[in-house]
């Protein structure tokens, strides 16, 4: 099947199960270059599994994943690792930094692995740390940083090599509420200013409302919502439904307001 001409990344009919228990049941997805898409849904709905399949970390049991003209689902392990190193960025819910390295060295890792010189890598890493308001932490090691600062360093590391696609899996989950909105806004704005495509997994509807309200520029956090429920694509509730107070975990509407 031919790739949709405008999509930088697309998938069709993805199935994946853990020990026979289905996590994705025929999910199709597409994202245009420079687009920011929020993948939303209750806990356990398949968000992480979808991001892992799209980024080549997990091979789907059935279905296709294409990055431009590359069939990610048929690439060997080494080719997928190269793709992840050179073209993709990944942010986890918990910042996994190398404890022995300083903040800037952590942020510069993708560049150093690409073979960029030490000085140039430091300059680029420090510029991203500045942009993310943690420039003052550049010489500190992770143990000396607050959780929010560590997550910003992880965001800098994910963006430093200007990936084509950034995957962010609940990137603000471990942060304090006030830090969450700010980190999300910074991430979204930084990606937009560099034309980076973003696939953002989140289950937190209220957070996105906060982020949006607090955004003085009025720029939407995401261009579009892709809702999942029980491993399948589901309906994105209309905005007025999202104005209601949060429902109990697991029964929440699986989308967010953007």
Ligand X SMILES: Nc1ncnc2c1ncn2[C@@H]1O[C@H](COP(=O)(O)OP(=O)(O)OP(=O)(O)O)[C@@H](O)[C@H]1O
> Using the rule CB under 6 A, is 80 a contact of ligand X?
no
For residue 203, state whether it binds ligand X (rule: CB under 6 A). Answer: yes
Q: Is 48 in the site for ligand X (CB under 6 A)?
A: yes
Roughly how many angstroms between the first and final C-alpha of the chain, as a whole number? 31
> Nearest-CA neighbor of 233 among 63, 7, 103, 72?
63
Indicate which single residue of 12, 36, 46, 242 sits in contact with ligand X (rule: CB under 6 A). Answer: 46
Smaller CB separation from ligand X, 44 or 135: 44
Q: Which of 41, 56, 95, 142 binds ligand X (CB under 6 A)?
A: 41
3-state secondary structure 47-92: HHHHHHHHCCCCCCCEEEEEECCEEHHHCCHHHHHHHHHHCEEEEC
Contact 258, 225 (CB under 8 A): yes
- Output the smallest distance, CB 49 to ligand X, in A: 3
Which of 41, 98, 71 has the alpha carbon at shortest distance from 231?
41
Among 43, 82, 96, 114, binds ligand X (CB under 6 A): 43
- Smallest distance, ligand X to C-beta of residue 105, A: 29
Contact between 61 and ligand X by CB under 6 A: the answer reads: no
Site for ligand X contains 210 (CB under 6 A):
no
60: contact with ligand X by CB under 6 A: no
Where is 9: in which H helix or E strand? strand 7-18
Site membership for ligand X, residue 49 (CB under 6 A): yes
Residues found near ligand X in the complex (CB under 6 A): 18, 23, 41, 43-49, 203
């Amino acid at each position: 099947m031919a790739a949709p001409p405008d999509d930088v990344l697309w998938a069709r009919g993805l199935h994946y199960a853990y020990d026979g228990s289905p996590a994705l049941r025929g999910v199709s997805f597409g994202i245009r270059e420079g687009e920011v898409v929020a993948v939303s849904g209750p806990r356990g709905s398949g968000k992480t599994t979808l991001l892992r399949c799209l980024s080549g970390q997990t091979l789907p049991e059935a279905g296709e994943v294409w990055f431009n003209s590359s069939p990610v689902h048929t690439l060997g392990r080494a080719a997928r690792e190269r793709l992840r190193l050179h073209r993709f960025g990944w942010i986890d819910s918990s910042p996994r930094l190398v404890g022995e390295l300083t903040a800037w060295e952590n942020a510069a890792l993708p560049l150093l692995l690409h073979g960029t010189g030490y000085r140039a890598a430091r300059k680029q890493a420090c510029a991203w740390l500045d942009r993310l308001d943690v420039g003052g932490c550049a010489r500190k090691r992770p143990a000396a940083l607050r959780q929010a600062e560590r997550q910003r360093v992880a965001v800098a590391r994910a963006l430093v090599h200007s990936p084509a696609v950034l995957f962010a899996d609940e990137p603000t989950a471990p942060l304090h509420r006030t830090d969450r909105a700010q980190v999300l806004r910074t991430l979204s704005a930084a990606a937009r200013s560099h034309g980076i495509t973003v696939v953002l997994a989140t289950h937190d509807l209220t957070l996105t409302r906060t982020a949006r309200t607090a955004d003085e520029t009025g720029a939407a956090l995401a261009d579009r919502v892709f809702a999942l429920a029980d491993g399948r694509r589901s309906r994105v509730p209309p905005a007025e439904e999202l104005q209601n107070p949060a429902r109990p975990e697991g029964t929440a509407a699986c989308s967010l307001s953007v």
